[in-house]
Amino acid sequence: MSWLFNPVHAATRLAGHASPYLAMHADDPVDWREWGPAAMAEAKRQNRLLLVSVGYFACHWCHVMQRESYRDAEVARLLNAHYIPVKVDRELNAALDAALQAFSERTRGRSGWPLNVFITPEGYPLFAMQYAPRDEFLRIGTALAERWRADAAQLKAVAQAAAIVAPQPRLPADLRAAFISRSLEEADLLRGGFGTAAKFPLAPQLAVLLDFQARQPNAELADFLSLTLDQMAGRGLFDHVAGGFFRYTVDPDWQQPHFEKMLYDNAQLASLYLQAARVLRQPRYRAVAERTLDFVLARMALADAFVASLSAIDADGVEGGAYLWPADRIKALLSEAEWPVVQRLWALDRVPEFEAGHLPFAQGPVTAAEDRLQRSAWTKLAQGRINRVIPRDEKIVAGWNGLLLAALAESGRELPRHAEAAAKLYHVIQGRLWDGRRLHKGLSANGALAGAELEDYAYVARGAWHYAQASGDQAARQFSLQVQRQAWQRFYKADGFRLEERELVIAKTDAWEEGHTPAPAPLLVELGLMSGEADLQRRARNALTQALKSARGDVFWRAGLVRLAAIIPAPSGAAAPVLPEAATLAPPGASGGVSRPAR
């Protein structure tokens, strides 16, 4: 019968895939396809909805949904019989992910991973959902299949109507003032960060606020920035034992992280803390940046480049298992002087927040004497967990290595080991990720990965430019210019930027909006304006003029555009922004280069 599952067929599709996330689904009973024109063509031939399931290797709830639903025989029978199931690694298909996340947020009021979107054969998203327990997912999938079988034409019409996005309000005239006002509206002035629920390290907003603080100091803004930076580095978002930032915290007090460690987060936050050290004149922030980069060099390196992520799940399948400690295990490792101090500081006499134990960080103020004992304790814990295995997603993503190159180059101005790492990374990017005309999306054990997107070009161009500025390497400057020109040629059209060269899904995307990584459009425009090359400056001025005329939505999520508008003002009635002397434009990242977070 056609609906029966052939396990050999499905395993063949994804087995040994360069993406560890896709490869781990090879043994699912669901007959997963890869994303691309072939899957769309199959959906059209069979007149079936596609189920496009997006996730990534380090994502805890992606693993949970696989275990509960995608390895369930009844769920597999439903999906194989009635849908074209497609599994997507969002780290290899960032543009698709951005389009589907935007659809989910617009129609369901939320976004995140795992993301499961039902899409018509014509490419219109119909319905989106994140994690759901097995029974709920089965119920929704069954109901939608029955509706499709009864009246596919009506559901196609619904999906096409959903693609029409109502116009949002235009951005205010004074973008700088509006951005600061909106940022302080969202600011948590008691606990730092933005919002009052889960806390993400919103690097682009913080970077632009630091840039504004450097240009026009404001006491209230300085207090908020210092509070936020101290909370992010001092509480549960940061791994005090081995270094590096976790993805985000699920609570507003920065105490309970989701334990994945992403290369793009650590690269962005290293740059942010380097910037904060300069603007706020606080050496402790430089120390945070250096320790973050040292963590990346120690734990994420692979042949002079850097892997995508460390999993939230340890080798034994425990969420956060590599980072959590039972109190008695901590006590056994520490001296009689250390134990009573950290027992109080780390609240080890309380019931742990996590099933696997305590996350060792100070819950309150710490004296200098206590801090010395605490640091000694962290060192002993680091030795005690040296044999704990944390699975890595070992694909090399071009764009994220570009973000890291910028951070290493900036830190390397003062620290030789970071300058050396930046030089090695630059040569990997230029020598292995670039073929002379185009970027590869990344590298894996199987070779180069195709499909580089706008963000990869923007981040690599920025990283190479930043490296050239720091090292004086003129070849790196020329390489950055080459990458920039290819980005404009491939991704800029008459109506603006595209996030990918070939768009298969009909859904709105915005290259100026910040997300979990920096918005690529403002980075590319700023690089063009700084380039000293007439063709790139002309393109950049035109694109910025168009963006300022047409930009809509919430100014809070337009940090990169706001910064450009603030430093390149357009006089009333001018056809294009006035380009200042190149020296007045800071190199990307040097005074608040744009970063793009997740919401």
The residue with tokens 């895939």 is 17
Residue 555 DSSP code:
G
Residues of the chain with CATH 3.40.30.10: 7-162
Minimal CA–CA distance to 316: which of 63, 586, 540, 513? 63
pLDDT band of 96, cuts 50, 70, 90: very high
Tell me how far apart the terminal alpha carbons of the chain are, to the nearest angstrom. Answer: 44
Looking at 3.40.190.170, 3.40.309.10, 1.50.10.10, 3.20.20.100, the CATH number of the domain 175-312+393-584 comes to 1.50.10.10
pLDDT one-digit tens code per residue, 28-52:
999 999 999 999 999 999 999 999 9
The Cα–Cα gap between 253 and 251 comes to: 6
pLDDT above 70: percentage of residues in the chain: 93
Closest among 351, 464, 357, 353 to 402, alpha carbons compared: 464
| For residue 595, pLDDT beyond 50 | no
* Tens-digit pLDDT profile for residues 397-444: 999 999 999 999 999 999 999 999 999 999 999 999 999 999 999 999
pLDDT at 132: 96
The predicted structure's pLDDT at residue 569? 57
Residue 541 has pLDDT above 50, yes or no: yes
Write down the pLDDT at residue 79: 98
Which among 495, 430, 419, 492 is positioned nearest to 460, based on CA atoms?
430
Closest by CA position to 503, among listed 162, 85, 93 = 93
Is the pLDDT higher at 370 or at 576?
370
Please state, rounded to an integer, the average pLDDT across all residues of the chain: 92
Structure tokens given for 479: 């390489």
Whole-angstrom distance, CA of residue 158 vs CA of residue 420: 55
pTM for the model stands at 0.92
φ/ψ of 165, rounded to 5, equals -95, 125
Position 597 scores a pLDDT of 36
Q: Are strands 305-306 and 396-397 parallel, antiparallel or unpaired?
A: unpaired
Give kind and range of the element (H or E) at residue 262: strand 261-262
Determine the Cα–Cα distance for residues 264 and 349; give it in Å rounded to an integer: 35
Where are the domain boundaries for CATH 1.50.10.10 in the chain?
175-312+393-584
Please state the CATH superfamily assignment of the domain spanning residues 7-162 in this structure: Glutaredoxin (3.40.30.10)
Number of other CB atoms surrounding residue 166 within 10 Å: 5
User: Cα-atom radius of gyration of the chain, to the nearest Å?
Assistant: 24
CA-CA distance, 138 to 130, in Å (whole number)? 13
Q: Which pLDDT band, with edges at 50, 70 and 90, does 5 fall under?
A: very low
Residue range 544-593, pLDDT digits in tens: 999 999 989 999 999 999 999 988 755 444 444 444 433 334 433 333 23
At residue 391, the pLDDT reads 94
- What are the tens digits of pLDDT across the range 309-352? 999 999 888 999 999 999 999 999 999 999 999 999 999 999 99
Give yes or no for a contact between 50 and 118, defined as CB atoms under 8 angstroms apart: yes
Q: What is the mean pLDDT of residues 139-157?
A: 97
Of the given ranges (21-35, 355-369, 378-392, 571-585), which has the lowest mean pLDDT?
Answer: 571-585
Quote the percentage of the chain above a pLDDT of 90.
Answer: 86
Q: From CA 278, how far away is CA 413, in angstroms rounded? A: 13
Strands of the sheet containing 447-449, edge to edge, are 396-397, 442-444, 447-449
The sign of the dihedral angle between the CA atoms of 64, 66, 70, 72 is negative
